Structure 1
Amino acid sequence: MTVPSWQKILSTLAGGRSRELYAGAVLGQPLDATPKELQRLVDAGLLTPEHAVAEGLFKEVLAAAAPATPKGVDRFFRNGRIDGLPRAGQDRTDLLAHLAGRLLPADEELGEPEVNRLLATVTSDIPTLRRALVDHGFLERNPDGSGYRRVASS
């Protein structure tokens, strides 16, 4: 059986009579309802076809509506931005590689203001991210500090 939508459940419970009947069913009271009223509660998933309260319905609906757990580097983003860098290890390397490839143009030298502007699209801690990209070999800084260039991936 498919899990009813939360919209269907709420629209059914929005009706005073349906809400009253469902409350009575939850409290174990006899159902004094017309066949049409009972069918509305069954169609919404609030009652089983035998007119018993559908146990666990709300848990199932909430679980079905829960957002999927992000995988890979996506798990470090919230609303398109990163809160911080993973401390170390492969997660940190993977995220930095992803950001370098996504944000920094290949074969183009950029000044620090341009690099900062690009990094600002994903973080508020621009210096830490810029330093991590350089330290991990994804971004090269000119010795005189005049520009940055993304390191070509091998």
Structure 2
Amino acid sequence: MPAGEPLRLLSLLSAPERLRIFSAVVLGATTTDDAAERAGIPVREALRCLGRLERGGLVERRGARWAARPDVLGDAVAAASAPDPSDLAEEDGDEADSAVAAFTRDGHIVALPVRRSERLVLLDHVARAFEPGVRYAEAEVNAVLRSISTDHATLRRSLVDEGFLDRDTGHYWRCGGTVDV
């Protein structure tokens, strides 16, 4: 997520009319008329606000209905709240542990690092969940990754793209990363 994304989303909701319209859609308004009525603003203004929120990714059209995208806000908060590993005090001197700790909470990944070097450290940590030399069905890989990330598909792709896992005909195996001895 780009560094300015949380600020951009916050600025979208800084106008009282847009905030009221977004809230109305979050609370169940699905039509422009219903959202305008709930927000207490004219339909024309509601439509203008919905268009701006749609361009910003906070609402979307599903046919003739509006739907809120509160997950976009959640992702922005998670990305913004992930501390920069370079700011962490390293008590034990282990840089890899600090990088992993910076992007996980209670064993769950809260954000994938933007910096490739930090992402590789985190992916190496995740790859250790797979035994070298063992072939795993995609469902098994997904189950392991779901236990540590809400976006298991992106995590799986990243592990393959960065050379920690390889795949062929629905099966995966570990092909990279460090091995605990």
Q: Normalization by structure 2: what TM-score? A: 0.43
Which structure: greater strand fraction? 2
Query: TM-score, normalized by length of structure 1?
Result: 0.50
Q: Which has the higher contact order (CA 8 A, sep 6+)?
A: 1
